[in-house]
Structure 1
Amino acid sequence: MSYFVTGATGFIGRHLVQELADHREGDIFVLVREGSMSRMEALLTKWGSGRVTPVVGDLGEQALGVDPAWVKEHGGTIDHFFHLAAIYDMTADDATNETMNVGGTRNAVELADQLKAGCFHQVSSVAAAGDYHGRFDETMFAEGQHLPSPYHRTKYESERIVREEAGVPWRVYRPAIVVGNSQTGDMDKVDGPYYFFPLMKAMRDRLPSWLPMVGIDLGDTNVVPVDYVAKAMDHLAHLPGHDGEAFHLVNPEPQPVVDMVNAFCRAAGAPTFATPIDRSVTRGPMSLIPRALHPSTIATGLVRMGPVQAVLDQTIGRLGIPAEVLGHSSFTATFDSRRTEKALAGSGIGVPDLESYARTLWGYWEEHLDESTGRDPRIREALTGKYVVITGASSGIGQVTALKVAQAGGVPVLVARGKDKLEETRAAIEQRGGTAHVFPCDLSDLDAIDRLCEQLTTELPSVDFVINNAGRSIRRSLRLSHDRFHDFERTMQLNYFGAIRLIMGLVPQMRSQHRGHVVNISSIGVQTNPPRFSAYVASKSALDSWSNVVSSELVGDGVTFTNIHMPLVRTPMIAPTKLYDKFPTISPAQAADLVITAMVDRPHEINTALGNAGAIAHTVAPKLAFRVLNMAYHVFPDSAAAKGQEATGGTRESEQIMLARVFKGIHW
């Protein structure tokens, strides 16, 4: 069995190649332009298969510009020809869509014919259904539907070419709106619902999540994760007896647009929308109203008008939401996928519920695709060309901070124990045009820190910022700690001794520069003193106190400090405490934004309102504060990990969640 794949460097394409490499035997030939070889080399490493071979060509040339000698050599040997190379973009112009989608498909069909391929697999789109009203099944194609945009027209035309001009057997796959990987969140560009994420982020940052928002029923949409699309295509392509058929790779149940928006709003921690007039009403007496007068029809018609689009471009367009996307946010057709579901039966391949992976998609966008940091002129001015030493940079807050620093033109200096993960972070930064340096170091080893400081001051032209992020958290009551004094020693070793050893090793360099800023990732626990965190909070308090004292000694030399009393963050460090899975937390990206603020504004402290309230309560009414904390001590038990047991269900979960929401961000 051998394969030829176009668009292998694209989003769906690279997932499909991974499926073929992991689950199929035989050679996999992938089309690549000469100028994309460097990107292809990175993908070859990621795929981890010696069976994937690049073939140089170009989508815009006849027979894809593949060397005739290669075609002659491999004629009759290609069992499956997958054509994925195309423009999947509502905002692309007519000429680009025509060249890539129509011309590219005609050239791919020509090459497949020359190769005498066993089957030509065309990745089309549900956009081929245009503005068809009603149920659109997999046997339907030319139904006289209106095609409202260049994208719709060229997806329809490219599918027509395959149906009418291919000289080899063919199969067509029509995905709905494809979003990131449901397991990892992996996505390579802002598209579809991602256009609305900056607006959701702005809502989250400016409005309380409980604030009710009013929306309207904008009809139905349909989104599927890329891993489902790739797995389904791989399975369907190898089923015998289905040539000449089309498959709808869609969610069998249409998703109301407002439900999709709310799923992502909940993932972001933003307010959600209620629809006072929804389909429970419109299916009643209002069902007698003509379709042209339905709210969704009126709204869609308005946003497709030229003058309205011009206004939208000057308003929400500045948030990165193209007016063209608003005009096509819902589908008039309902896509029947019974043939696909029957073909996939027993394979274990199905569309996961959006709620189950919305947070994963949001987290990936926030950490990897959100470009707001790099667009902020104040941040760029403060960080461009600056060397930022970040400890704990292999994951969580440290990793996201590194990505944001690089986005703003800074040079992250990545420090952590694991070199491989640091190299992955550096590769991600360099792939986006940034620069980073890797310095592996065990920060609990004081001698290793001394060697690190010598390296940094010798090899770097300057040390402008130090982000003390690496840390160890232990949640265990004193009652369970009498025979575990090492918990206190190892927490102090990393969180306090390691941090100040690093600062002391770099202070001479910063003094000689007459500039330098240290950001300590402290904890809201320093202000609130939550039970069971005596080891962790003591180590962070020690770092706070040390920084406060030496700040007065170093400020005259241009060296300053910021202590961030960070609330509970959703990072690998809190993963062992399963209780936290249902707690309100901030994301690593939100925490990284606080770090960026600390570098740009250089305040002495960054606190939350609840942290400040806790500090005041301990000062003004300490006895009452300790009574409240004692109540929490009894409501939140020691974790199974602290007891050395398997996790079991709690009996006071409702009380725990209530307290966690009232005292949002505290490490209970």
Structure 2
Amino acid sequence: MYFFTGFPGFIALMLLSELIGKWAPEKIYTLVLPHMKDKAIAEKERICSFTHFPHEKWEVIEGDITKPNLSLSREQLHMLASSVTHVFHLAAIYDLAVPENIARTVNVEGTKRVNEWVSSLPHLQRYIYFSTAYVSGTRQGMIFEHELDKGQAFKNHYEETKFLAEVAVQEIARNVPTTIIRPGIVVGHSKTGETIKFDGLYFMFNMFERLKFLPIIPYLGKGEAQGNFVPVDYIIDATLYLAHADEASGETYHLTDPNPYHMRDIYRMMMTEYLGKEPKGTLPLRLAKWAMSFSFVRQWLRVEKEALEYFECASIYDATNARNTLIKAGIVCPDFRDVIPVMARYYRKHRNDETKQLVIR
């Protein structure tokens, strides 16, 4: 019996679709906020229709991870305790520009509430927690999967609160069978390009679209940092395998690009693919950040200022544990050079869909 938070978010949607297709779950429970219930039911119906999964085997439950007992009734808690074997905790605020109070409430306090509930489940076989590789914060150099607290600072409230949440998960992992997933920056499907939001690396496409009238577009900074961008289908395949592999219990995995390109190369490949031309010259990153400090610039370009930090994030993410485990199932991360054209095609087709654009403040 499978229990998910974070539905109907993109990764949860993809996980559930693949779970149904490959693992034939006996029962699925998805916890959703009351105002998201209609959307969640619509997504459930859509997935059940194309997978032919019986509707009665999937229950959408109203709740709130920031409230005691997840806002579940005594009857619901008893029902779940008697059946749940796998818990996937994905609910979080992923926005790089999220205010601190909101990030702490959802990412930290919400995860602690889920931890408390998970620790009470008598039949639990695995707790799968979605963290991020960027719990490393401002650390530089090689970062290993077994590392967490090295006294690091953080580039934004998202990173800091995900770090604090993972600290809390690590504490209960001594007594609860836990697998921690640390993805890099997730992009769309490597074959279809499908994504739910044009954030993260898609901000570059937004910027290219706005600036395409210019005869010359410069590089942003030196771009010496490695870019860790991974397609969502790799994340899904890897996560579902690790959620069921005995050897993954008690482990932490970097689902990052094992052969990352430098940001300068990624920037050039994206511009060449989307605009058919290469960057010329270099705009110092400090000047780009200064320009992005003005809201009207951010809003016109459709780029969050915080995204620029990753052009100089000199971190290298070792993924030996993930690679050695996943290779047994033939699961490998695609070469990002091959993913960029697929991303560009999908973005070009859907760039005017306002539901896929973040509200930039």
Give TM-score, length-normalised by structure 1: 0.49
Corresponding residue SS for 1:361: helix
Structure 1: how far apart are the matches of 2:34 and 2:217? Answer: 53
For residues 509-566 of structure 1, what are the alpha-carbon distances to aligned partners after superposition, in whole Å with 9 as ceiling and x for unaligned?
xxxxxxxxxxxxxxxxxxxxxxxxxxxxxxxxxxxxxxxxxxxxxxxxxxxxxxxxxx
- Within-5 A mapping of 1:354-369: 354-369=336-351
Determine which of 195, 209, 212 is the counterpart of 1:201: 209
Cα distance, 1:330 vs. partner?
4.2
One-letter amino acid of the counterpart of residue 20, structure 2: A
2:344 pairs with 1:337: no
Residue aligning to 1:183: 191
Shift of 1:203: 3.9
1:181 is paired with a residue whose SS is coil
Q: Which of 250, 255, 261 does residue 249 from structure 1 map onto?
A: 255
Distance change (3 Å), C-alpha of 1:191 and 1:175: same
Once the two structures are superposed, residues 63-114 of structure 1 have per-residue CA deviations (whole angstroms, 9 ceiling, x without a partner) of 2212221221231432211100001110111111111111111111122123
Q: Which residue of 2 aligns with 1:350?
A: 332
Contact 1:215 1:273 (C-alpha < 8 Å) held by counterparts = no
Q: Which residue is equivalent to 2:32? A: 32
The answer on 1:124 being equivalent to 2:131 is yes
Match of 2:97 in 1: 91
In the alignment, does 2:156 pair up with 1:149?
A: yes
Q: CA deviation at 1:206?
A: 4.7
Secondary structure in 1 matching 2:87: strand
Change (3 A) 1:201 1:369: closer
Task: Specify which of 74, 77, 88 is matched with residue 71 of structure 1.
Answer: 77
> Would you say 1:160 and 2:167 are equivalent positions?
yes
**How far did 1:266 drift?**
2.3
For residue 271 of structure 1, the aligned residue among 277, 289, 292 is: 277
Higher relative contact order (CA 8 A, sep 6+): 2
The residue type paired with residue 230 of structure 2 is: V
Structure-2 separation of matches of 1:214 and 1:60: 42
2: CA distance, partners of 1:108 / 1:311: 36
Q: Max radius of gyration: which structure? A: 1
Q: Which runs of 5+ in 2 are unaligned?
A: none
Q: Which residue identity does 2:126 align to in structure 1?
A: C
Within the candidate set 250, 262, 265, 1:259 is matched to 265
Q: Structure 1 residues 66, 59: CA separation in 2 closer, same or farther (over 3 Å shift)? A: same
- Residues 115, 303 of structure 1: alpha-carbon distance in 2 compared, 3 angstrom cutoff: farther
| Cα displacement (A) at 1:351 | 1.3
Q: Which residue of 1 aligns with 2:233?
A: 227
Tell me how far 1:334 sits from its aligned partner. Answer: 0.4
3-state secondary structure, aligned to 1:172: strand
Q: Distance in 2 between matches of 1:7 and 1:103?
A: 15
Structure 1 match to 2:5: 6
Once the two structures are superposed, residues 384-428 of structure 1 have per-residue CA deviations (whole angstroms, 9 ceiling, x without a partner) of: xxxxxxxxxxxxxxxxxxxxxxx7xxxxxxxxxxxxxxxxxxxxx
Relative distance call for 1:348 and 1:3 in structure 2 (3 A) is: same
| Closer/same/farther in 2, CA of residues 62 and 262 from structure 1, 3 Å limit | same
Q: How far did residue 20 of structure 1 move? A: 0.9
For 2:187, the aligned partner's letter is V
Alignment partners' CA distance in 2, 1:46 and 1:256: 39
Distance 1:102 1:214 in 2: 36
CA positional deviation for 1:355: 2.4
Matched ranges for 1:126-525 at <5 A:
126-165=133-172, 167-207=175-215, 213=218, 216-218=221-223, 219-273=225-279, 299=285, 308=290, 311-370=293-352
Residue type at the aligned position of 2:72:
V
Q: CA separation in 1, counterparts of 2:310 and 2:36?
A: 31
In the TM superposition, 1:602-613 aligns within 5 A as none
- The 3-state SS of whatever aligns with 2:61 is strand
- Judged with a 3 Å threshold, the aligned counterparts in structure 2 of structure 1 residues 147 and 303 are, in CA distance, closer, same or farther, namely farther
Q: Tell me the distance in 2 between the aligned counterparts of 1:185 and 1:99.
A: 32
Distance apart, 1:172 and its partner CA:
0.6
2 CA distance for matches of 1:217 and 1:194?
Answer: 20
Amino acid at match of 2:207: L
Counterpart in 2 of 1:43? 43
CA distance in 2 between partners of 1:214 and 1:303 (Å):
10
Q: Does the 8 Å contact 2:203/2:302 carry over to 1?
A: yes
- Measured against aligned partners, the alpha-carbon deviations of 1:150-174 in whole angstroms (never above 9, x if no partner) come to 1111010000011114552211100
RMSD: 2.5
**2:291, 2:271 → 1: CA distance?**
25
Q: CA deviation at 1:317?
A: 4.3
Per-residue deviation, residues 315-339 of structure 1 (Å, max 9, x unmatched): 3542111222223344321000011
Instruction: Identify if the C-alpha distance between structure 1 residues 310 and 176 changes in structure 2 by more than 3 Å, giving closer, same or farther.
Output: closer
**Residues 348, 204 of structure 1: CA spacing in aligned structure 2 closer, same or farther, 3 A cutoff?**
farther
Farther-moved stretch of structure 1 (212-221 vs 14-23): 212-221
Residue 35 of structure 1: CA displacement? 1.9
SS at the partner of 1:259?
Answer: helix
Q: CA deviation at 1:122?
A: 0.7
Percent same amino acid among aligned pairs?
A: 26
Counterparts of residues 524-535 of structure 1 (less than 5 Å): none
> Which residue among 102, 105, 108 is the counterpart of 2:108?
102
8 A contact 1:189–1:369 mirrored in 2: no
What is the number of equivalent residue pairs in this alignment? 347
3-state SS in 1 of match to 2:20:
helix
Q: Relative to 1, partners in 2 of residues 1:31 and 1:329: Cα closer, same or farther, differing over 3 Å?
A: farther
For residue 212 of structure 1, report the CA deviation from its aligned partner.
8.2
Q: How does 1:519-598 map to 2 (within 5 A)?
A: none
Structure 2 vs 1, CA of residues 53 and 175 (structure 1 numbering), >3 Å: closer, same or farther? same
Report the Cα offset of residue 148 of structure 1. Answer: 2.5
Contact 2:10 / 2:196 at 8 angstroms: preserved in 1? yes
Distance 1:65 1:311, change over 3 A: closer
Q: Is the 8 A contact 2:259 2:335 kept in 1?
A: no
Q: Which amino acid aligns with 2:222?
A: D
CA separation in 1, counterparts of 2:212 and 2:349?
Answer: 16
